Every structure is written in structure tokens, then in C-alpha cells.
Structure 1
Amino acid sequence: MKKILLLLLFFNFLFAQINSPEFYERQIKILRDLDIESNFISNLVFVQSQQDIKSKHTKTLIDGMQNFSKITPMIRKIISEEEVPEEILYLAMVESGLKVNSVSNAKAVGIWQFMKPTAKNLGLRVDAYVDERRDPVKSTYAAIDYLKRMKAEFGKWYLAILAYNCGNGKLHQAIKEAGSDDLNVLLDSDKKYLSLETRNFLRKILTLSFLANDRDFLLAKDASLVNYALSNDFIKVDAPSSVSLKDIAKNLNISFATFKKYNPHFKHNFTPPGKGYYMYIPLNKVAFFDKYFKENKLAKVDTTIPMTKVYTVKAGDSLYKIAKNHHVSIDSIKELNRIYKNRLSINQKIIIPIKENKNANIKTAQSDSKNYSNFIRH
């Protein structure tokens, strides 16, 4: 015990020597924001793990700041409006690196990594036409709603974050076994009340939060990062039903790739049938949209959803060969499977569209009634 106390004092001293008083205060504020006692900053395992986490996940942080400048401002704005800790942004970074098309081995999707049943329970639409887990705005509201529910259930933000990773049932069990909800107790490496994945989940979020608040670190990486994520540059408008996304992009005078980047929730190259759906457009196109965009001039397209089959890639296969053998286009296979390169792996399972004449009987969900006031125009 004496040896452990001496080690804790040593690491605490070392930590204070390395970091400036201002940065130390910012770290303490982060802990307070998440209802964590300030003494956790000296937690031996946390201090020891930080260097490893930094080496493995610094790139995630920098990429999130540099490559997702259209997403981070939006998340920060919603977090501020919803009055939840700003550190929640780094939960998304740990989950997916802020990649809207991220898919886990367990089939969790989007920047917040929702499973399909959870997404639907939170009001996100996931069907043959759209997957709103890929919508960074709607999925962020859903993630915050979920975290608020967990905060109400457990009483502390760090517990809500742990529950986000392991589920509320497992967290209740862990607290019962530990006889405490104190973070130092729950993350005990010997007792293992929680899995290593869940224990490291919170440590990663804290480490990224600390790095993002380390001005010297950001300046050393890229001076522009100090002022990143200041404003969003897109807005939500009504989408015409059953029209080609390429026609919409053309009428907005933007590239199809740009339109898809702003609207990753569309599963196909057309908008869903039925009224009441939406799309995002760049902020600098709002005046053009209001003046020149005419829905009645866009041709309606066939919104038939093709039947599909699962194909296992064999040695010697290529996208060209598979497409030719199944009488479909390469683009249709790439779009359906969200394949962005032409390489395939042996034993990789891909979905092949099979054309048929019969329309899928899909009920169009009503648009979400929540007032996303800063992103919706009426």
C-alpha cells in the first residue's frame, strides 16, 4: 500500500511538472464537467495509459479536426444547445473517428455507432431508402437524447458514458458488485467490474479531451487547429420525393460528390418516395436554392428497391467480373456496399442487386417532429 501511495505521489508530481497551471486547470474542469472527482487525474492506471492512448489515438483527434470541419462545428453547436458536456464530442471521435460511413463488426453504423434497434428506438429512420444513423445532425440529437436518459438513470455523466459503451444493465451489475459508483473503484484493473473495452473507453475520451485543450500540443501539430470548429456551413431544406440526386446536385450547381457528402443518409441515388423528407445543402447555396430551385422541373424516377443476394468473393474475382456475371453495373454494387475502392478480399461478403419489376412495399416514416431550429428552414 505504501509503495502504491508513493507511486501516486510521484506521478502526481510528474504530471504537475509536465503541464502548465493553465492546462492543469483545464484538465480539472474536464473532469468536473463529467462529474469525476479531481483526484482521478492522479489515478495510476489512467496516468500510465495516457501515453499509450496518445500514441494510438492522436491521429484520430487531428484527423477529426482537420478532415471533418463540416461535422465538428455542428456537433459542438448541438452540444451547447442541449447543455451537455462538450467532451461528448470526443465520445464520437473514439467511437468512429467522426466517419459518417463507419460500420463496426457488430453492424453499428455512423459517427455515434448505433445498432439498428437502438437507432429506431431513438426515432431515427432506418429502412430501404435512408439510414439516418449516417445523418450527422439527427444522429447527434439521438446520441445526446440517449446520454441524457443514461444521465437521468445513473445521476452522473461519467456513468452515462460508461453505459453508452457497455449498456445500462451491465453498468448496474458492475455498480452492485463494486458496492460503489466511484470511478476509481469501477475502473479497478484487478477487480474487473467492467470490461477492458469499457474501462479504456472513458480513458480514451478523457485523453482526447485533454489533448484538444492543450494549446501547445495543437500549435505543435497545426496552428490552425487552435481555432477549429467555429461554424457550420450547411442547412436543412425540404427534399423533393422520388427524384435523382444527380438532378438535384445539377440544379444546385454543385457536384454530385459534394451533394452526397452533405447527404450520406440517402442509401440510393434518389430521394425516397412520399412527402415530408429533407436534405442538406451548403450554406452558400441557400440564395441560389430559394431563387432557382424548382421541384416541379425535376423528373420523377423509378424508386423500385431491387431484390438482393449475398455473394462471397472468390479467388480471381473482380468487381467487373462479378457485375458482368450478375448483369448489373459496377456502380450499383459499389453503392449498395459502400465500396469506395476497386479492391476486394477473398471471402468478403458483398450484396448483389437483382432487378425486378415489383415495387417494395415500404411505408414512409413521418419526418422527425423535433425542432432542430438551427438546421431546419421552413
Structure 2
Amino acid sequence: MKKILFFIFLTFNFLFSQVNSPEFYEKQIKILRDLDIESNFISSLVFVQSQQDIKSKHTKTLIDGIQEFSKITPMIRKILADQEVPEEILYLAMVESGLKVNSVSNAKAVGIWQFMRPTAKNLGLRIDAYVDERRDPVKSTYAAVNYLKELKAEFGKWYLAILAYNCGNGKLRQAIKQAGSDDLNILLDSDKRYLSLETRNFLRKILTLAFLANDRDFLIEKSASLVNYTLSNDFIKVDTPSSVSLKDIARILNIDLATFKKYNPHFKHNFTPPGKGYYMYIPLNKVAFFNEHFEVKKLTKVDTTIPMTKIYIVKAGDSLYKIARKHNTTIDSIRELNRIYKNHLSINQKILIPIKEKKNANIKTAQSNSKNYSNLVRN
């Protein structure tokens, strides 16, 4: 009885807040319409019942995404607008990764849009021994948009495209067939379980974050600065020559290497890839400086041979220092190769170790290194 009374109170409180906030209520309805969701979903028991819990658990995700990744959100918003995709898709990325470009899931999905390797390659993203464009926030966003457009074309509604993004189009087709309907309230039925709990919550989380982000009072309560988080981009894409040191590029641009890498997380090593020219991102406030001072002839070509690697399984008592010393390499080399940012290692964790090699052709070295990366991912 207490649970019933509490739920009635919660529902009443939620609906009452909408009555007293007509502007916010209209924003919520617009969000639902943008995603092809019937407006009555806002008061459905399926959604109301879970919203408070989601809000308490994922508010930090929204705040962190706004505050720490302010360089990424305007770029995503612009691409979504240019591609005529609902702006609420931004919150899909927040739910997937918290907008962290280096995010890697347990299933080895990578980047802010959490692409698995096969899906990313099918969408035209380059993944090899030199770069991983799943970590490029711009290219991966275009890939995600194209993928979502394909799903929208297949299922006809944006909320179905979002559900398919999480569970796969095959599972969604099966769920719709079992339910006999693509109505959202039916698909999210917790008793029938046409979709997994993860997928059911996926859309709810996105909606909750979108609602919170459009609640001016909520943002001001957290920090007045959050209201202006949709400021314009602060970086731009420019050409870069092949086989040159990132450190040299950063030096010419008069920025530190760590800052340059934050703008270019898709580079796997401290040099640009060999072959034809590639691209990089630089801060907008460096464009004039770049145009005036950046000359390719000032950059020395470097050896882009990638060290051969082997897979090492962490044992009890191991540390980065011990592993590096044992294999005659450096801690920094292991950190960079495995994108390890903390000192903690887990027993049975698999990491790549650079090993000494004789002079080999770049292509053979790269292929061997890629094979080890693939084995590490599969295992």
C-alpha cells in the first residue's frame, strides 16, 4: 500500500511540476515530437516510473558532458543540424560514452558513439595500426548520423532508430513482430519484455537527459555557466603532412603536445601516418598563426616504423615499472600503446608490449602490429 501511495505521489508531483512550468512542458513535448514519440508518453506509467531513478543516477553524466567536453557538444549539435537529424541525438552519445573520445566498453566498442570495429569500418571509418577514427569526434559523428539515418529509413521513426542503435535492427524487428506493434509504450512493457532492460532504459535515459538539458532552472541550479554550453566550435580541420612528429607540429603551433593530442585523439602514435597527407584539428585561435607560420619544410620526416608487439598477461605482483623493466622498454611506451592512464593493472589483463625488432618494411610491421591489436580485442 505504501508503495502505491508513494507512486501516486510521485506521479502527481511529476505532472504537477509540468502544469506549473508550461514553457518547460512545451520543450518536453517538442523533444518527444522530434523523436516521433506521441506526446502522451510523457505521462505514461512506463516512463514516469523510471524517470526519477534515471535522473538521480545520470544527472552527473549530463553535467560532466557539458562542463568537461564543451569543445565537442557544439560540433555535434552543428553536424546534427546540418544533417537535419534531431538535436536530441546528442544525448545518445552522452548515454553511450559520456562524450569521452577514449571510452572503450567491455565489448571493445570505442569512442563517443561506441562503435564496434566491423560497424565502424562498414561506415567508412579508418582503423589501422596508425589511426582509429572512432576516436575522431567529427568523423565518428558523421558516421553515427549516417547509421541512424539508415535505421530511420528502415523503421520509419526516430525512436525506433535509437532503439535499433542499441540492440541491433534484427532484434528490434523481432521485438516489433512479437509485440504486433511498434508503439513505444508496448515495446517498453516491462512485463512482456519484448526488448532487453538495457535497451528499454537506453531510450529513457536519452529522454531524461534531453529534458534536463532543456530545463533552464535545473541548469542554473547546478551552475549558471551551464546555460551557455552551446557556444560555437573552437577547433577546425586542416591538412597535415605524412610521417611527421606530433611534437614538432605542436611546437610550431606553440601549444603543448598534451593539448594537441586532446584535439586529435585519433592518432595512435606520436607521428602522423605514412602515405598520402592526412588531417588534424587545431584550435580556432591558432588558425591565423597556422596560416602564417606552418610550413611543411620546417617539419622533419620521422621513422614511422611501428615497434613489433607481443601480448602480455598481467600476473599478481606486476606493475608497469616491473613489466617495462622485464621487457627492456619504458613505462611511457606501454602506456601509450595501451592507452593506460592510471597505474592500476588487473590480474589477467592483456596488454601490448613493444619489443625490439630488426629493420623491417613499414607495411609488414604495421600488419603484424594490427594482428596483435586484433587478437587483443578478440580476447
Q: TM-score, normalised by structure 2?
A: 0.92
Cα distance change of structure 1 residues 339 and 7 upon mapping to structure 2, 3 Å threshold? closer
Distance 1:336 1:182 in 2: 47
Deviations 1:292-339 (A, max 9, x none): 111112111111122211111122211111111111111110001101
Contact 1:313 1:346 in 2 (8 A): yes
AA aligned to 2:16 is Q
Distance 2:255 2:22 in 1: 48
Q: Tell me whether 1:361 sits opposite 2:363 in the alignment.
A: yes
Greater shift, 324-333 or 110-119, is seen at 324-333
Contact 2:334 2:353 in 1 (8 A): yes
Cα distance change of structure 1 residues 54 and 7 upon mapping to structure 2, 3 Å threshold? closer
Deviations 1:63-92 (A, max 9, x none): 000000100010011111111101000000
Mapping 1:20-31, distance limit 5 Å: 20-31=21-32
Cα distance change of structure 1 residues 40 and 363 upon mapping to structure 2, 3 Å threshold? farther
Give the SS at the match of 2:182.
Answer: coil
Mapping 1:201-240, distance limit 5 Å: 201-240=202-241
Give the SS at the match of 1:243.
Answer: coil
AA aligned to 2:319 is S
Deviations 1:245-279 (A, max 9, x none): 11110111100000000000000011000113100
Contact 2:46 2:185 in 1 (8 A): no
Q: Which runs of 5+ in 2 are unaligned?
A: 367-379
Contact 1:128 1:362 in 2 (8 A): no
What's the offset of the Cα at 1:7?
10
Contact 2:306 2:365 in 1 (8 A): no
What's the offset of the Cα at 1:8?
9.7
Q: Where does residue 351 of structure 1 map in the other structure?
A: 352
Q: Where does residue 317 of structure 2 map in the other structure?
A: 316
What's the offset of the Cα at 1:222?
0.5
Q: Tell me whether 1:17 sits opposite 2:21 in the alignment.
A: no
Greater shift, 36-45 or 66-75, is seen at 36-45
Give the SS at the match of 1:314.
Answer: coil
More helix by share: 2
Q: Where does residue 175 of structure 1 map in the other structure?
A: 176
RMSD: 1.8
Give the SS at the match of 1:32.
Answer: helix
Q: Where does residue 160 of structure 1 map in the other structure?
A: 161
AA aligned to 2:172 is L
Distance 1:172 1:46 in 2: 22
Cα distance change of structure 1 residues 198 and 259 upon mapping to structure 2, 3 Å threshold? same
Distance 1:359 1:61 in 2: 47
Contact 2:131 2:266 in 1 (8 A): yes
Give the SS at the match of 1:87.
Answer: helix
Deviations 1:202-252 (A, max 9, x none): 000000000001111101000011111211100111111101111110111
What's the offset of the Cα at 1:342?
2.2
What's the offset of the Cα at 1:11?
6.1
Task: Percent identity, please.
Answer: 82
Contact 2:239 2:280 in 1 (8 A): yes
Contact 1:11 1:44 in 2 (8 A): no
AA aligned to 1:18 is S
Distance 1:326 1:229 in 2: 48
Contact 2:121 2:127 in 1 (8 A): yes
Give the SS at the match of 1:149.
Answer: helix
Task: Tell me which stretches of 4 or more aligned residues in structure 1 moved more than 4 Å.
Answer: 6-13
Cα distance change of structure 1 residues 207 and 312 upon mapping to structure 2, 3 Å threshold? same
Greater shift, 325-334 or 95-104, is seen at 325-334
Cα distance change of structure 1 residues 8 and 37 upon mapping to structure 2, 3 Å threshold? farther
Give the SS at the match of 2:255.
Answer: coil
Contact 1:308 1:351 in 2 (8 A): yes
Q: Tell me whether 1:125 sits opposite 2:129 in the alignment.
A: no
Mapping 1:1-378, distance limit 5 Å: 13-19=12-18, 20-356=21-357, 357-361=359-363
Give the SS at the match of 2:85.
Answer: coil
Q: Where does residue 369 of structure 1 map in the other structure?
A: none
